[in-house]
Chains A and B, each alone.
Chain A
Amino acid sequence: MTRPVPGQSPPRPAAVAKARSARGWAGWLFVIPAFAFYAVFVLRPIALTAQYSLYRWDGIGPSTWVGLANYAKVFTDPDLFDSLVNAFKLIVFFSVIPVVLGLTIAATIRRIAQSRLALVARTVLFLPQVIPLVAAGIAWSWLLSSTGVVNQLLSLVGLGGVTRAWLGDLSTALPAVGMIGAWVLLGLCTILLLAGMSKIDPALYEAARLDGAGAWREFVSITVPSLRQEIGVCVTVTVIAALASFDIVYISTQGGPGNATMVPGLQIYYLAFSEREVGMASALAMVLMVLVIAIALPIQRLTKDTDQ
């Protein structure tokens, strides 16, 4: 902070103020190029989306002002509202599973950190992050098909009765899509948490062990609290991935069967490019943006390290 220390009054206040203001404008000059890009490619589209959301427009012809009618429809049309609900269901798979499982796996890997196995495990877990989502989606739709590996394994262990086309069944399609997401995001969370763990002072563990703490006690009392920030990042990134999901769903089910896996991202795309309801699509996009911000901000606050 450059705020003057109280009691140590600056010699010539006017001159300092002038210098500071000049420096302030110079600072803005440096910001201009980046801000111009940000304004044209981020702020302008958001402003235009907000504007479109108040019209009924097919994207080409003349438009009609409809006020907030599009927003009203987002919350009353069951198809649109259900897609929002599905996005929240996906949070279980995209966030809860990767974070919980990631913590467990990271804690395990940390214990064997020196071995070759740890390196292999890290690589294997991070691999999904490297593969394009489209490729992952295609691979998984094969794995989950009626004759795919998943069903073959189930039949092998005598669970032939539960085999089905996982992505084609109204009750299992959404969880199946969720598992693909969990598989993709698990590696990211594990690596993030592992990096966080390497920063924890080993002396803490040693002290805990001297006090007779077991592995579980160490995990709960040292590992998890120390990883608060990393967990915060994981939760934020994965929750946004769940709410704004598009690619995995588009590749694996396209929202089917019977809208069972319809999510807002896909719905926006269909509204804009297949139904040509640009206004409705924009309204849903604005609602989605507000939702993501409204959920991501409190998570940030909750997980902020209070010590700093």
Chain B
Amino acid sequence: MARRVRPGRSTAALVVAVGALAAACGAPGSNSPQPAASASAPLSGTPTCGTAPVALNGYFETGFPLPKALTTEFSKQHPNVTWNIREDQFAVITQNAPRVLADNPPDLMRLPQVSELVKDNLLKNLDGYAQAFGWDKWPASQLEQLRLGPGGRPRGQGSLYAMGLNFSMTGVFYNKKLAARIGMSTPPATLEEFDAALAKAKDAGITPIVQFNGGATGGLAFPLQSLMASYGPPGPINDWIFQKPGATIDTPSNLRAAQHLERWVKAGYFQKDVNAVDYATMMSRFIDGQGLFMFNGDWESGNLDKQMPGDVGFLLMPPAQKGGKRATMSAPLTFGIGANAKNADCAAFFLNWVATDRKAREITVEVGGSHPMGPADAYMPDVAADTVTAGTLAAGADIAKDNGAMDFIANATGAIYAKSWTPNLQKLVAGQQTPQGLLKAVQADYTSQLEGN
């Protein structure tokens, strides 16, 4: 029935069509918008939101109420400012960040790892604002992780490209009821005492540590880095995370930390199904009283105070030697301003307000559970003494004293967590990776990822 189309003609048409489509464009990226130079222009006076109506575009993370609580209060104090807020899961923000910042730059955006965004000139250089508002007079460690060298490397020094709404800290939460059952009345002061508590819990039939390590998020990175901090100084780890030339994760003290973690795994201190446990499952198990310890961050302090009031304690990972310095992962809740954002001045004014306004600092502690940014002597709201929030804030002071803040080893490059730490830690749990192999594999991936940039 059908009239047969001569194959020659249809093939020719296809070739012409594909050719025309492909020929229309040059090398990928050659026509992408190049944002204005990233060097900051000197400001004339301190930026404000003015008095005329301003609508700020925000791009925030779903599930975290703090930014919205702050923007609501800000609009109360500055009625000319309204907010258009879009929210996404953090994983979605991570994937979208470069495109959103290039195509439709928000005035204020929750940021993933920033190195590659800075490399592509997508973030506003905040040096001018820092000077105008006096951010450079705050304790330097607060903003260190948000400073980047030219082209995004190394991190930890150079110009300021982002700000924190607060800075959070990780450590070990413990269930006070279960702790009482094994006779743990005071938090362990050394790694040895910590090990003893784990063993006692195991003997008492209590899961010593509930942790997540499933899917693409290897949560065993939390205890691993905590152990790294017990065995060695935080400086070299920070250098590695900041991509300083020659830095390596494969050091003798980190090896001892990885070996220690493997001993915990082999001793059965984690749940047997830890490789199938995601973050939400870990939280529900801990709240359900199914484990003694949990390595996590103070962003859960407020939540835990609500879910198990008075029953949760917080400790910093104890050092290997008694009286040794403590260190832990501590990072700002990173927000940035798009390089081509329309209302950059107002966004910067908001960021400064968050750190310095009395009410804003109260909200930061109450809703966020973490330490506000800002000058060392700034107003601190009162927190009830028996809450875990009080515990995490006190621990923050200890870390500041010991100068023990580290960024998270998962933040070294954009892909190191999902593609390297996670599969290798999962293999370590399954007995298919050794501590030495783990560090070597991660270092190799790190090197190849840096070469790729």
A residues adjacent to B (C-beta < 8 A): 1-2, 24, 27, 35, 39, 43-44, 46-48, 50-52, 55-63, 65, 79, 145-146, 164-170, 253-259, 270, 273-278
Contact = CB atoms under 8 A, between A and B. Distances in A.
B119 A51 contact: no
Nearest to B103: A60
A55 B28 CA distance: 8
B8 to A, nearest CB: 13
A250 B32 CA distance: 31
B272 interface: yes
A56 B430 contact: no
B29 A146 contact: no
Contacts of B271: 146
Contacts of A55: 27-28
Given A47-B21, A168-B277, A274-B414, A65 B27 contact: yes
A44 B277 CA distance: 41
A276 B98 contact: yes
A257 B213 CA distance: 8
A170 B430 contact: yes
Interface in B264-292: 271-277
B74 to A, nearest CB: 31
Given A1-B4, A48-B25, A169-B275, A58 B120 contact: yes
A254 B216 contact: yes
B216 A51 contact: no
Contacts of B3: 2, 24, 27
A165 B275 contact: yes
Interface stretch (B79-87, B301-309, B418-426): B418-426
B4 to A, nearest CB: 7
B418 A274 contact: yes
B214 interface: yes
Contacts of B18: 43, 46-47
A47 B22 contact: yes
B215 to A, nearest CB: 4
B98 A60 contact: yes
B415 interface: yes
Interface in B13-35: 14, 17-18, 21-22, 25, 27-30, 32
Given A256-B216, A276-B414, A164 B452 contact: no
A258 B95 contact: no
Sorted nearest first, the 10 A-B pairs with minimum C-beta distance are: A168-B276, A165-B273, A165-B276, A257-B426, A168-B275, A146-B273, A254-B215, A273-B95, A258-B427, A254-B216
Contact of A44 (B1, B21, B27, B119): B21
Contacts of A254: 215-216
B272 A165 contact: yes
A275 B273 contact: no
Max chain B Cβ within 10 angstroms of own Cβ: one of A56, A166, A259? A259
B430 A257 contact: yes
B89 interface: no
Interface string B181-216: 000000000000000000000000000000001111
Contacts, number: 142
B449 interface: yes
A63 B27 contact: yes
Contacts of B422: 256
B29 A256 contact: no
B419 to A, nearest CB: 7
B66 interface: no
B7 to A, nearest CB: 14
A62 B30 contact: yes
Interface in B381-429: 414-415, 418-419, 422-424, 426-427, 429
A259 B25 contact: no
A167 B276 contact: yes
Given A259-B423, A275-B415, A278-B28, A60 B274 contact: no
Contacts of B119: 61
Contacts of B426: 170, 256-258
A27 B9 CA distance: 13
B343 interface: no
22 contacts: A1-B1, A35-B17, A39-B17, A46-B18, A52-B28, A58-B29, A59-B29, A60-B29, A60-B98, A60-B120, A61-B32, A62-B29, A63-B29, A165-B275, A165-B277, A168-B214, A170-B427, A256-B422, A256-B426, A257-B276, A259-B423, A274-B95
Contacts of B216: 254-256
A257 B414 contact: no
Interface string B127-160: 0000000000000000000000000000000000
A79 B418 CA distance: 13
Contacts of A51: 22, 25, 28
